[in-house]
Amino acid sequence: MDRVPLILDVDTGIDDSLALLYAAASPEAELVAVTCLPGNAALEDVARNTRAVLELAGRGDVEVAAGGHAPLRRALEVTPETHGPGGIGYAELPEPTRPLSPRPAAQLVVDEARRRPGEITLVTLGPMSTLARALELEPDLPRLLHRWVSMGGAFRVPGNTTPVSEWNVHCDPDAAQTAFAAWQAAVVREPSTRRALAVGLDATERARIGTDHVVALARRARSTPDDSLDATRPPGDAERRSVASNPVVRFVADALRFYFEFHARYDGFYGAFIHDPLVVAAALDPTLVTTEPVAVDVDVAGGLGDGQTIADFRGLWGRRPNVDVALSADADAFLERLVERVGALAERVADPPLPVAPAGSSRDEVRE
């Protein structure tokens, strides 16, 4: 099997946590390194969460580097109402044992792209600040990377932060504009440059995880049942914990319960859009998403359209397409893979091995 060398740039984050688990569980993924930046949570929380989740997955060997503490030119925003005060919902993990890399995040990206030209896929799952800083260090990055895959944007659907803006782009629209402009210049200068892949809300809001998926994941992990994800229980009980016997399943359930309660409050369903794992899955298997090549730019003017990802679907600008925009996704196939892969990973890291759950079980220090 040909493996895909990945660098994940994360703002961990509940769905980033699931994306890290998915990458760690995927046999075709070579997890080269992970870089961190603020977004869903402050940088210190993100750096801790990222290393702790990797250690939970048995991948404490992966180098983790921290980036800047804030967006390029905007004030930092975080989302404790969405991801919890520390970024991983109601979940708790031991403090990570491995220190952060001495390399700053942007330098790591540039170093690895130069070391393995044409091989590395960079997957940005938060604001695009790290990538923008890496482009300052190495303007030829679009050619040196195999591909850039982003979770970002709302193209033919409404935004989830403003009426027109998706959260990651909203947090640092200047960085997003810098990144898309770099790929625009690259495809004009060298038409063989591979277009970026943008997997935004058009695709990721089709990936809706529910309690049944968590039950199936626990069963695949050979875990005893979890009964914490119950829509009829009052929300906000931080003391209630998953009773699943498997540590990965417990983490997933405790993290997702916060996310489920957020979506029940704001989106009208008890479940969650799990944006970031879908993006990692699409980076490994692009057939999971249906795309259209288009020229993309970002509004940074500060008005009502600030942070909007503008896609020229009619070609009115006359620009060469710089992005393959994902307009839909095979959510069912993705969710099946998520359950199978993360469940199998959970079974592997469990110690000692756990009995099979019955088929009828009820579910219910940071450097700049």
Report the catalytic residues. 275
The C-alpha angle 336, 338, 340, rounded to 5 degrees, equals 70
CB-CB neighbours of 206 under 10 Å: 18
How far is residue 242's CA from residue 254's CA, in Å, rounded to a whole number?
Answer: 6
- Going by their DSSP bridges, the two strands 196-199 and 147-151 should be labelled as parallel
SS3 state of residue 324: strand
298 phi, psi to nearest 5 deg: -130, 135
| Both tokens assigned to 48 | 């801790």
Query: DSSP letters of 243-303?
Result: --SSHHHHHHHHHHHHHHHHHHHHTSSSSEE-HHHHHHHHHH-GGGEEEEEE-EEE--SSS
